[in-house]
Amino acid sequence: MAHRHARTARRSAATAIGALVLAGLPAAAAADSAPVAGNAPSAARTLGADRPSPPLLGALQRDLGLTPAQASERLVNEAEAGTRAGRLRLALGDRFAGAWVRGDTSRELTVATTGAEDVPAIEAQGAKAVVVERTLAGLEAAKAKLDAAADRVKTLDTPVWYVDVPKNRVVVQATSQEAGAAFVEAAGLEGEDVGIRMTQERPRLLQDITGGDAFYIEDSARCSVGFSVTGGEQPGFVTAGHCGRPGDTTTGYDRTAQGTFRASTFPGEDMAWVATGDQWRPTPDVKAQDGQEVQVTGSVQALVGASVCRSGSTTGWHCGTIEQHGTSVSYPQGRVDGLTRTTVCAEPGDSGGPYVAGAQAQGVTSGGSGDCTGGGTTFYQPVNPVLADFGLTLTTAAAQVTTPAPQDGTAQEWAAGRVYEAGDTVTRDGVRYQCLQTHQAQGAWAPAGTPALWQRL
């Protein structure tokens, strides 16, 4: 018999697949306010946001101060906004400067552009238009200069830097004005609009006690299971890279033999995967409040401003919002790039645990600052790069096992199991499509039937 947790709590799965009814740009207007959960659009159905689990809704109500109706509406609006933002990103091209959601129910989608001529097209899609000076590509290029400078200079006093999309600028978090200014100068960005945010917080890794299911490394350190995956036919799970090195053995929550770290990257990135024995069966489950579980249906990346919930054995099940993607964090143990910054609280021991937006897997806890009494900041390693780099398939409620296609970055026939970035182009049955939202493809998400994720060219 497969060795598993005793699972007495009710599971909640959202697996419905639907078709998005949203015209291309700029012909059909979608200027009405975002739909509420009672009339969920197909994007929400496709991404599993129309039937959220009670544990997810309960945590959103508690941590974001929402009513049950607001929590349900928020998840639907966020799923629908992600598709609209993806279409606008493709339409604006080089002028695109980012997108984000705001409001208690994420009703307001804002899309930024450097071209005033784009405002009518943006508003026709029911989004608020903001004309800014810098493109998203330009901001990311400026941040890349900071990344390069961090290879040459110490960043102990400038531990965090990122692109702040709503403010259309790059931000350096520093312990002093002098330290921030020196880092900016070292990157060759002196005189450019780089914000320096003063703080005494220093992110640290959260590795002492687990989030989600506990596992032990070499019978000593303890970390947490992120998401179940398969590598070909090999079952396992992803977690934080700082939890262990390739070859380290693990035992499970009950101290029985479990598996071995197959791959691990830290610093640079904070990702790892553990190959487990046959007695450990991968599931789409994530531990939530009061012994309940939620199930993931995919890995579609959420927008800035969207709600996200985290599981951790130290502090339990908590929610917050996404503040920035692509954040660089300089821990005492080394620098990590490409993290997502959130308002979710965490404490030491929550490392490696999963982050979920609606029914979509987002990432695994890397580190943070503060606590769940006074509040804090956390950073997670996005899950899609983990899947792509290690050739893994996320275990979802659809229970489809596929072998990931090579991540060679070239246009090719669409393939289930491959991680696609927003903007990637594929062919399927002789038709070309362009990706709207970053995700790992699943068999049920072929482009022709999933306009929430793909736009026909």
Chain position carrying tokens 């951790």 = 312
Dihedral sign, Cα of residue 24, residue 28, residue 34, residue 40 = negative
Closest CA to 422 of 439, 442, 402: 439
Structure tokens at 40: 């969920």
For residue 174, give the nearest of 144, 147, 195, 152 by alpha carbon: 195
Q: Is 351 a catalytic residue?
A: yes
53, 72, 118, 242: the active-site residue: 242
The tally of CA atoms less than 13 A away on the side-chain side of residue 231 is 19
Q: Is 325 a catalytic residue?
A: no
The string of DSSP letters for 387-450 reads HHHHT-EE--TT----PPPP---S-EE--TT-EE-TT-EEEETTEEEEESS-EE--GGG-GGG-
As given in the structure block, the two tokens for residue 321 are 């919002």
How far is CA 12 from each of CA 177, 263, 397, rounded to the nearest angstrom?
48, 31, 10
CA distance 53 to 58: 9
* Cα separation, 387 vs 276, whole angstroms: 16
Q: Catalytic residue among 311, 351, 366, 369, which?
A: 351
Nearest one of 410, 349, 63 to 223, comparing CA atoms? 349
Asked whether the beta carbons of 224 and 215 are under 8 A apart, the reply is yes
* Whether 240 contacts 271, CB under 8 Å: yes
Helical pair 177-186 and 136-150, crossing angle rounded to 10 deg: 100
Residue with tokens 């610093």, as numbered in its chain = 267
Is 285 in the active site?
A: no
Task: Kindly give, in sequence order, each residue whose CB lies less than 8 Å from that of residue 387, ignoring residues fewer than 6 positions away.
Answer: 229, 238, 299, 393, 394, 404, 419, 440
* Residue type for position 390: F
Active-site residue, selected from the candidate residues 164, 270, 285, 424: 270
Alpha helices (H) along 266-382? none
| C-alpha to C-alpha distance for 177 and 195, rounded to whole angstroms | 10
Phi, psi of 426 (to 5 degrees): -135, 170
- Known catalytic residues are 242, 270, 351
